[in-house]
Chain A
Amino acid sequence: MMTQTGRLAATREALGPTLIKLAEEGLDIVVVDADLGVSTTAAQFGQRFPNRFYTMGVAEQNAVGVAAGLAAAGKIAFVSSFAAFIPGHCYDQVRMAIAQPNLNVKIAASHGGVVTGEDGASAQALEDLSLMLALPTFRVIVPADVVECAQAIEEAARRYGPFYIRMVRPKIPVIYDESYRFQLGKAHLLRPGSDVTIMAIGVMVYQALQAAQLLAQEGIEARVLNMASLRPLDEGAVVAAAKETGAIVTAEDHSVHGGLGSLVAQVVARTCPVPMTFVGMTSFGSTGRWDQLLEHFLLTPNRIAQEAKEVISRKRG
């Protein structure tokens, strides 16, 4: 199943085509756009279904409110922008108009993480997952590649309630082939191992796989889990990882405060405390090519491997 396909694609490329496919199948989808539909690929939906695509201009607060109103009238409402702007620019609107009344709105946010690249720190959302995870009614998904992203969008469309799907701008390695099946609330085991577990999301899943290969060369068997479904979280997989491997590294292109690492640490602390460490962002981003930025901010296979050895050294007995 896990085949590093050699293909590159941006997760955002899944948005427009998947929405078109679902609407053609008869789902009552509408899309609200805040002048970034070409970038998020939502505009492709507008070309195919002009009456169901609403441009709101660069006005994210209003776009979120309009999506909520459409949902309240029975539509499956997608609202799409960059993660810096939704939820970044309109958090209270997301909280009050979508999360509290539990409306059927799906936020498809592109340009998550430092891999957003040359546009620099302002465009690189590093806080969006912390914000979205603080809203109890939202389900939060961070697909690892374009194949998983298409399936996550479909899952969100077919289930009632608020969803947040985080996508990325650059073309990143595609790790899944078409036989893959995304399951909401399930971690996906990409590599078995019993010495340590690396849990990753988004672009860091590929980095984690590379790290596991480096560790294997030193005789360390790392379990690699894709934690795309942040909420609902696969607590069973986290507990099993803690019990069976005794050490955990989390890896995310996001602040280490409030994202994957914090979420996993809460489960581990409550159920089976083991040494953990957290690979992620501790500062704002900067400008540069996305792969250079991953190197610059140490979101690399080498760093993950190093941290893995460090947590293993802290294991008891």
Chain B
Amino acid sequence: MTAQAGSGHPAGSLSCVEILVALYFHVLRHDPKNPHWPLRDRFILSKGHVTPAYYAVLAEAGYFPTEELDTFRRLGSRLQGHTVMNCPPGVEMSAGSLGMGLSFALGLALAARLDGAPWRVYCLLSDGDCNEGQTWEAAMAASHHQVDRLTAIIDYNRIQNDGFSDYTHYQGGGDRRIGGWIGPNGYAVNIMSLEPLGQKWQAFGWHVIEVDGHNLPSLVEAFQRAQKHTERPTVVICHTIKGKGVSFMENNPAYHGKAPTPEEAERALKELE
């Protein structure tokens, strides 16, 4: 999709494919033929740039024809580079500016509780989302209001737009100066360390589950476990690999916001088969 469009965010899409598949095919109560069903579970994509994976999963689930995926990022298409609410129906929220999803998800969850409705809310966040102060405002507020029907999911791949989020994932060696710097390949090292991420969420009053974000049964089990927690919201921290499944994209910050060439795309698709 990104190769055809000539732009887009392939690597972060690949890191959250299993998360999206687990949700849309095993966890969410939803009806693609009735996208406005009032009692559906809500999925809020906060990392709004991973539309290649998100749109593909929505289409596969039946929200719109898979042929429409070919229009991605083209003038007149419903499939913009970043998500637009109800465009197409099934997209629950506009996103693109990071850090906004969890607040919106919290508002939905508060409304469901006020109405005594049964539906739950899931929100997928990125490393970058966890850089934004708003995410932590929302984290604080969600436990403060004891919103147990809210599940945050972190696609913790440790690579962001400019490079690596922390030292632990950077293989390049060199001296380890305080704060971030630019490595020999031109990408940033140690943009903003999120560790200890689980402890941070715990300190904000959340149940914390950590899981291999590429293991479908483990993901499904984790989301089901989250549903049983009461009084506090749950975060599922998914340890993932950016560019998962494509050798030249894995852990390579070059493919955060760049489409593969047609030749690269062909190689990538072969590897993914």
Contact = CB atoms under 8 A, between A and B. Distances in A.
Contacts of B93: 72, 97, 101
Contact of A66 (B85, B95, B115, B141): B141
A62 B110 contact: no
Given A72-B93, A93-B134, A59 B140 contact: yes
A66 B184 CA distance: 42
Task: Tell me the interface secondary structure of chain B in the complex.
Answer: helix
Among A67, A69, A77, chain B packs the most CB atoms within 10 A around the CB of A69
14 contacts: A61-B137, A65-B102, A65-B104, A65-B106, A65-B138, A68-B103, A69-B107, A70-B110, A72-B93, A73-B111, A75-B114, A92-B97, A97-B93, A100-B85
A57 interface: yes
B111 A75 contact: yes
A32 B107 CA distance: 10
A62 B111 contact: no
B111 A97 contact: no
A264 B213 CA distance: 56
B104 A97 contact: yes
B59 to A, nearest CB: 21
Given A54-B145, A61-B134, A66 B103 contact: yes
B65 to A, nearest CB: 24
B106 A66 contact: yes
A96 B94 contact: yes
A97 B83 CA distance: 12
A36 B92 CA distance: 30
B14 interface: no
B101 to A, nearest CB: 8
Nearest to A71: B107
Given A56-B141, A93-B134, A96-B94, A61 B103 contact: yes
A73 B85 CA distance: 13
A51 interface: yes
Interface string A38-75: 00000000000001101011010111111111111111
Contacts, number: 105
A74 B106 CA distance: 14
B111 A67 contact: no
B114 A30 contact: yes
Interface in B114-152: 114-115, 133-134, 137-138, 140-141, 144-145
Contact of A70 (B86, B99, B107): B107
B191 interface: no
A315 to B, nearest CB: 48
B172 to A, nearest CB: 34
Contacts of A57: 137, 140-141, 144
B134 A69 contact: no
A30 B110 CA distance: 10
B108 interface: yes
Contacts of A51: 114
Contacts of B112: 73
A57 B126 CA distance: 24
Given A66-B106, A70-B110, A96-B95, 16 more contacts: A57-B140, A61-B134, A64-B103, A65-B100, A65-B107, A66-B107, A66-B138, A67-B107, A69-B103, A69-B108, A69-B110, A70-B111, A72-B104, A73-B115, A100-B94, A101-B84
B35 to A, nearest CB: 13
A73 B103 contact: no
Contacts of A56: 137, 141
B96 interface: yes
Nearest to B107: A69
A68 B96 CA distance: 16
Nearest to B135: A62
Among B97, B105, B106, B110, chain A packs the most CB atoms within 10 A around the CB of B110
Interface in B54-101: 84-86, 92-97, 99-100
Among A54, A65, A92, A96, chain B packs the most CB atoms within 10 A around the CB of A65
Contacts of B105: 69
Nearest 6 Cβ contacts at the A-B interface: A69-B107, A65-B103, A73-B111, A62-B137, A59-B137, A101-B85
A93 B104 CA distance: 10
B51 to A, nearest CB: 15
A249 to B, nearest CB: 39
Interface in A95-153: 96-97, 100-101
Contact of A97 (B103, B110, B137): B103
Contact of B84 (A67, A70, A71, A100): A100
A101 B93 CA distance: 8
Given A62-B134, A62-B137, A65-B100, A73 B107 contact: yes
B134 A72 contact: no
A118 B105 CA distance: 38
A70 B103 contact: no
Interface string A147-190: 00000000000000000000000000000000000000000000
Among A30, A56, A64, chain B packs the most CB atoms within 10 A around the CB of A56
Nearest to A93: B100
Contacts of B38: 74
